Structure 1
Amino acid sequence: MLSLITIIVFLIHAITISGSPPVVLWHGMGDSCCNPLSLGTITKLLKRQLPGSYVSSLRIGSNIVEDTSNGFFMNANHQIDYACKLLNADKNLSQGYHAIGFSQGGQFFRAIAQRCPEPPMLNLISIGGQHQGVFGFPRCPGDNETICNYIRDLLRFGAYESFVQNHLVQAEYWHDPHKEEIYRKASIFLADINQENTFNEQYKTNLLKIRNLILVKFLRDSMVTPHDSEHFGFYEENDTSKIIPLRESSLYLKDLLGLKTMDEQSRIKFLESDTDHLQFTDKWFIDNIIPYLQD
């Protein structure tokens, strides 16, 4: 027969676990699920700050090499389908999970929220995600300069050519403000999830199911152009000297994704870090991100 103390300890442990929903991570371009210097460090930090919590880092592929490569060359729509299957197969997530996407993982997780509502996503945290795309490829992450030079050549060749769109991830969120009509017609990923062609009511319905959308912008970002995209801002058409912020965009004013509704309900949090892309301290992460993961 169990002692009273044993039962109390068991109940306290159960309450602690149930009080911290699972957390799922999605890495950015040039990274992998399990890099000990990036998401491996974040995973350890999360487990220290959320004792007993379940933390998973998505691996898109059968191994780390494939995962890294797929971040460059696996069609983004196929990655979303792949990730959706992983999430559905993980029984630890059946009651809901918090999502943290780093760089392009931010807009990929948003696509998950819109297209794959089960298991339920609780809070969506986008750290440096490019939600209005990019128009520039100024810096390469890590030791991937050879790959990045190849990507630059493909983007110069024609980001909106069918072959490039279907086989180069970065082209799938390439947003040329001088070719808005071509972008809307040719973009197989970003234009779709941003409702810039056919309106999909389900995308809006599903995104409104999340509790909060937390958007982190890096004020000294040397990788994302423009860095305002991390807060859903982007260049005015044919004018790269002017940024249209989220609240002045048609995406917001027409409430195509429910962002206006969420904002009016104080469910969009605009955070900033006065640093370069994905450069933040443990203290910044603990102070700014951990509070959204505790219930």
Structure 2
Amino acid sequence: MFHLLPLTTFLLIQRVLSTPLSTPDPLPLVIWHGLGDQHDAEGLHSVGDLAKETNPGTFVYYIRIDDDGGNDRTATFFGNLTLQLQKVCDDLASHPILSTAPAINGLGFSQGGQFLRGYVERCNNPPVHNLVTLGSQHNGIAQYQTCGATDWFCKGWQALLRGNTWSNYVQSHLVPAQYYRSVNETTGEASEEYLEHSNFLADVNNEREEKNATYAKNLASLENLVMYMFEDDVTVIPKESGWFAQVNATSEEVTWLKDRTIYKEDWIGLKKLDEKGGLRFDTMPGGHMTLGDEDLKNMFAKWFAPPKTSWVQALNQVQEIVEL
């Protein structure tokens, strides 16, 4: 049986349906730069400007370990990642804009990608909605990057690494060493030295016998973890680390994430995230961190755009009015 609606109710429904679907403000975007970069670099801010251009109204925050740009760059080479990550957690939790947002989006360049993942696992306050990583080293590196002929800064820290990767000093002072991952040549799995001494990666990947359930819970709470690998990357060895894959250094055989124990036993929540459709693998053309404006704009539009108010929400409003 049909019921006639009062005129006032009819007018309210008409008003709801005639109102254009609104678009909320985009979530704040937090960017963590890579090795040898700094928070106030012109190139990094040009990326932030593209994010604002693509999604107007975006507030962009550039993670820094030190407000001084030069010191911030130094901190990408030298420092204790446990302390650096805690500083970032404290900074984001106390930021007047970020701390009041319902959530934030995260963008990690190279090593900044696994560091932002560490933020999600250890802190996640404010919580991350979508995390995008570009050319990151989620499963670590098998060798350190090659230094330029006149890059004495790079050669200096690499000299400290030779034969000393697992020393307490190196693991608490040299950043790349803290996501270096050595394997047992017989089993192909993580080496005892790595599991015992790694200051960062073995912990955030929950590779030790005692697992941290909070890490898995927090990472699985993401809406999406989007991992981009550069197709011609020769800087990150192996490049497949950007997808959590493991590569045999001798045979070059690749063991992809879903065939690994870290996924099968869901050590850090990747399987749960995948089961709800939030684990994404993608590629970028070119070498390490060769990013074109169009590639970035497409990525920003896909992963950082604000959701539009849906017709389902509008119909729910109508239902609420009818039930009044």
Match of 1:280 among 280, 291, 297: 291
Give the 3 Å change call, closer, same or farther, for CA 144–57 of structure 1 in structure 2. farther
SS in 2 for 1:207: helix
Cα distance in 2 for residues equivalent to 1:114 and 1:158: 28
Matched, 1:75 2:80: yes
The within-5 A match list for 1:79-118 is: 79-93=84-98, 94=100, 95-118=102-125
Distance (Å, rounded) in 2 between the aligned partners of 1:233 and 1:208 = 19
Q: Deviations over 1:202-230 (max 9, x none)?
A: 11111111110000101111210000000
- The 8 Å contact of residues 177 and 235 in structure 1, kept in 2 or not, is answered as no
Once residues 256 and 290 of structure 1 are traced to their aligned partners in structure 2, the CA distance between those partners, rounded to angstroms, is 31
Greater RCO, 1 or 2 (C-alpha within 8 Å, sep 6+): 2
- Aligned match of 1:159: 165
Deviation at 1:99, TM superposition (A): 0.5
Q: CA deviation at 1:239?
A: 4.3
Change in Cα spacing, 1:228 to 1:119, as seen in structure 2 (3 Å) is same
**Inter-partner Cα distance in structure 1 for 2:72 and 2:150:** 14
Deviation at 1:180, TM superposition (A): 1.1
Whole-angstrom CA distance in 2 between matches of 1:102 and 1:84: 18
Alignment-derived partner of residue 273 in structure 2: 262
Q: Which amino acid aligns with 2:83?
A: H
| Counterparts of 1:277 and 1:201, CA distance in 2 | 33
> Once the two structures are superposed, what CA deviation does each residue of 1:177-222 show, in whole Å capped at 9, x if it has no partner?
2461111111010000000112000111111111100001011112
1:22 to 11, 14, 28: 28
Comparing 261-270 and 100-109, the one that deviates more: 261-270
Q: Are residues 1:42 and 2:54 paired?
A: no
Instruction: Tell me how far apart the structure 1 counterparts of residues 53 and 150 of structure 2 sit (CA, whole Å).
Output: 31
1:58 matched to 2:58? The reply is no
Which amino acid counterpart does residue 230 of structure 1 have in structure 2?
G
In structure 1, the partner of 2:129 is 122
Question: Which residue of structure 2 aligns with residue 201 of structure 1?
Answer: 213
Aligned to 1:135: 142
Moved more, 87-96 or 222-231: 87-96
Please give the alpha-carbon distance, in whole angstroms, between the structure 2 residues aligned to 1:137 and 1:214.
25
Partners of 1:286 and 1:230 lie apart in 2 by: 21
Q: Structure 2 length normalisation: TM-score?
A: 0.82
**CA offsets, 1:146-202, max 9 Å, x none?**
121122222222211111111000000011124611111110100000001120001
Contact 1:177 1:239 in 2 (8 A): no
List structure 1 runs of 4+ shifted beyond 4 angstroms.
Answer: none
Instruction: Tell me the percent identity.
Output: 31
Match of 1:4 in 2: none
Taking the aligned partners of 2:273 and 2:67, their CA distance within structure 1 comes to 37
Instruction: Identify the range of structure 1 (148-157 vs 265-274) with the bigger mean alpha-carbon deviation.
Output: 148-157
Structure 2 equivalent of residue 212 of structure 1: 224
Residue 258 of structure 2 corresponds to 247
Contact kept? 1:24, 1:100, Cα under 8 Å: yes
1:31 equivalent to 2:37? Answer yes
Instruction: Tell me how far apart the structure 2 counterparts of residues 44 and 62 of structure 1 sit (CA, whole Å).
Output: 20
Distance in 1, Cα, partners of 2:95 & 2:283: 32
Flag structure 2 segments of 5+ consecutive residues without an equivalent: 1-18, 185-189, 307-324
- Write the letter of the residue equivalent to 1:148: C
Return the match for 1:182 from 165, 190, 193: 193
Superposed CA offset, 1:217-273 (max 9, x none): 01111210000000001224x746222111111101111111112112221111101
- Deviation of 1:144 (Å): 8.1
Quote how far apart the aligned CAs of 1:278 are. 0.8
The corresponding residue for 1:221 is 233
Moved more, 100-109 or 40-49: 40-49
Partner deviation per Cα, 1:129-150 (whole Å, 9 max, x = no partner):
1000001123348x98212112
Query: Secondary structure of 1:124's partner?
Result: strand
The answer as to whether partners of 2:221 and 2:273 remain within 8 angstroms in 1 is no
